[in-house]
């Protein structure tokens, strides 16, 4: 069913855009140094390709789907994770799945793949429901920060579904340290680009380092407590056992901690943002929100553990997909060319960086009608089939496609269905919503909405 009849044209907020190109050096100052999607020109959202020099690096930004397909799929073997990114992330996630390449990446992807197949994820639907209801039990009529609720629910879910509910992973200290570690990325990025040692320059930098240390130590202890046998038969247990079977003990331990950190962080922060942005968009569309709430109530009537739940939520799924288009939680990701290549007409030298920008692609004038406007009908089956599959990349593409894509989608749908069935979300009058973040895209300073309990 199309939604055009009930959607008011709505252009949700995005950072201001300049008319002309923005000089690369601007990326190191002001808001642009803190927020990846800040400071773009209108021209960037219409260009087929951008190329920049950044502190001696050549950075290519292909913006046509077929060019991106070349990088992520057709010649994926030539485009590895950049050394700069590895250095930036090494202190937190080491050489885990997200930040490794070649055989080490392939071995790790094989080890975790079984946990992310459809059947194990469908079995988590009751876990998603319990976490959603647990967080909503603390809500009250009135102002609630749904961004904080998004973090609480996804952290609970990742701890319960991958780490046997380890209480050390859901503490307030953990929440604060992760936020500090992410807030410090802007400063660390500049140090990495300048080839400087990664040392705190500011209070923010100090907090970020403390956050990274806390995460490594906590997850190191969690892995140590399990021992080489891995303990329970959950994600962490099977991961530890498979790593010890394949690698020498020292390496296996380090990789277990790297992947524990990778999955703990990649597995909750992105989905938390997707939840917050989706609720924000629905808060601005009261009629659509009512329809989603009715769909959720009907779908949940089939039972909280129903594996068909996601299929019973087609409208909510379209809203979620549109939210991931407008506010992709990972607004950019990068590769580095191993050997010389051509991306369409553009020559690439070994060592060049290739940046893929869902933020630009998802709002590109050549790919979307009225690109900044909210319209879930873009994801009706016919419209989707007419689009190039590399025009929409919230989860990346090719062999490095997000391994948690199905987990995140079903988790988000289940959580949103429970929340929308029981609560109504309205904007907080006078509150301007802004984006922020260098690696993930968060609502700046949280996302307070006005909640009211639905009467049944």
Q: Which residues bind ligand HEM (CB under 6 A)?
A: 97-98, 109, 262-263, 266-267, 270-271, 274, 329-330, 333, 394-396, 400, 402-404, 407-408
Nearest CB to ligand HEM, comparing residues 275 and 348: 275
CB of 295 to ligand HEM, least distance (A): 20
- Residue least distant from ligand HEM (Cβ): 404
What secondary structure letter does DSSP report for 117?
S
- Least distance from ligand HEM to the Cβ atom of residue 282, Å: 16
| Alpha helices, DSSP H, located in 351-401 | 358-361, 381-385
Q: Token pair of 429, please? A: 């009058």
In the complex, the smallest distance separating the C-beta of residue 85 from ligand HEM, rounded to whole angstroms, is 8
CA atoms of 390 and 357, how far apart (whole Å) = 11
Closest distance of CB 330 from ligand HEM, Å:
4
The first and second tokens of residue 112, run together, are 């975790």
Judged by beta carbon, residue 72 or residue 433, the one nearer ligand HEM is: 72
Nearer to ligand HEM (CB atom), residue 209 or residue 325: 325
The helix/strand count (H/E) of the chain reads as 17, 12
What is the distance between the alpha carbons of residues 20 and 43, in angstroms, rounded to a whole number? 7
| Phi, psi for 145 (deg, rounded to 5) | -85, 100
Nearer residue to ligand HEM within complex by CB, 280 or 395? 395
Please state, in angstroms and rounded to a whole number, the distance separating the CA atoms of residues 356 and 227: 39
Q: Containing H/E element for 92?
A: helix 83-93
Give the nearest distance from C-beta 38 to ligand HEM in angstroms: 19
Token pair 């859901």 in the structure block, residue: 170
Which residue, 37 or 209, has its beta carbon nearer to ligand HEM? 37
Give the nearer residue to ligand HEM in terms of CB position, either 394 or 437: 394
Among residues 47, 54, 53, which one has the least CA distance to residue 344? Answer: 47
Cβ proximity to ligand HEM, 76 vs 450, nearer residue = 76
**CB-side exposure of 191: number of CA atoms within 13 Å?**
16
Cβ–Cβ < 8 Å for 239, 114: no
- Name the one residue in this structure whose structure tokens are 């009135």: 142
In the complex, least distance from residue 270 CB atom to ligand HEM, rounded to whole angstroms: 3
SS3 314: helix
Least separation in angstroms between residue 193's CB and ligand HEM is 18
Residue 401 Cβ, how far from ligand HEM at the closest point, in Å?
7
Our CB check for ligand HEM shows the closer of 263 and 368 to be 263
Q: What is the closest distance, in whole angstroms, from the C-beta atom of residue 262 to ligand HEM in the complex? A: 5
Q: How far is residue 381's CA from residue 410's CA, in Å, rounded to a whole number?
A: 18
Nearest residue (CB) to ligand HEM, 289 versus 355: 355
Residue whose pair of structure tokens reads 């709430």 in the numeric block: 293
Contact, 22 vs 39, CB < 8 A? Answer: yes
Instruction: For the sheet with 423-427, list strands across it.
Output: 142-145, 448-453, 423-427
């Amino acid at each position: 069913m199309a939604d055009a009849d009930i959607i008011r044209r709505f252009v949700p907020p995005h950072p201001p855009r300049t008319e002309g190109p923005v000089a690369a050096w601007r990326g190191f100052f002001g808001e642009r140094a803190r927020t990846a999607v800040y400071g773009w020109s209108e021209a960037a959202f219409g260009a087929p390709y951008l190329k920049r020099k950044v502190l001696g690096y050549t950075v290519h930004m292909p913006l046509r789907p077929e060019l991106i397909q070349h990088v992520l799929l057709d010649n994926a073997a030539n485009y590895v994770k950049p050394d700069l990114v590895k250095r930036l992330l090494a202190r937190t996630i080491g050489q885990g799945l997200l930040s490794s390449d070649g055989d080490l990446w392939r071995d790790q992807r094989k080890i975790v793949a079984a946990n992310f197949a459809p059947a194990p994820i469908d079995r988590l639907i009751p876990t998603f429901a319990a976490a959603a209801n647990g967080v909503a039990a603390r809500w009250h009529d009135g102002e609630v920060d749904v961004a904080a609720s998004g973090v609480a629910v996804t952290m609970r879910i990742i701890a319960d579904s991958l780490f046997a509910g380890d209480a050390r992973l859901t503490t307030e200290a953990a929440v604060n340290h992760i936020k500090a570690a992410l807030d410090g990325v802007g400063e660390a990025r500049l140090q990495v680009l300048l080839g400087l040692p990664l040392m705190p320059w500011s209070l923010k930098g100090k907090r970020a380092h403390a956050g990274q240390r806390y995460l490594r130590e906590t997850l190191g202890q969690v892995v140590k407590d399990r021992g080489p046998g891995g303990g329970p038969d959950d994600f962490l247990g099977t991961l530890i056992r498979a790593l010890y079977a394949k690698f020498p003990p020292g390496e296996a331990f380090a990789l277990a901690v790297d992947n524990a950190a990778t999955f703990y962080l990649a597995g909750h922060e992105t989905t938390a943002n997707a939840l917050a942005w989706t609720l924000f968009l629905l808060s601005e569309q009261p009629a659509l929100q009512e329809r989603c709430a009715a769909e959720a109530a009907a779908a949940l009537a089939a039972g909280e553990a129903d594996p068909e739940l996601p299929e019973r939520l087609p409208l909510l799924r379209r809203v979620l997909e549109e939210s991931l288009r407008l506010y992709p939680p990972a607004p950019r990701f990068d590769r580095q060319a191993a050997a010389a290549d051509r991306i369409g007409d553009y020559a690439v030298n070994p060592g060049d960086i290739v940046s893929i920008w869902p933020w630009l692609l998802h709002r590109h004038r050549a790919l979307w009608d009225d690109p900044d406007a909210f319209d879930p009908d873009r994801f009706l089956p016919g419209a989707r089939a007419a689009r190039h599959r590399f025009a929409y990349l919230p989860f990346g593409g090719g062999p490095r496609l997000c391994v948690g894509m199905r987990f995140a989608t079903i988790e988000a749908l289940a959580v949103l269905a429970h929340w929308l069935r029981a609560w109504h979300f309205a904007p907080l009058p006078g509150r301007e919503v802004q984006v922020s973040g260098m690696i993930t895209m968060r609502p700046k300073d949280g996302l307070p909405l006005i909640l009211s309990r639905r009467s049944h």
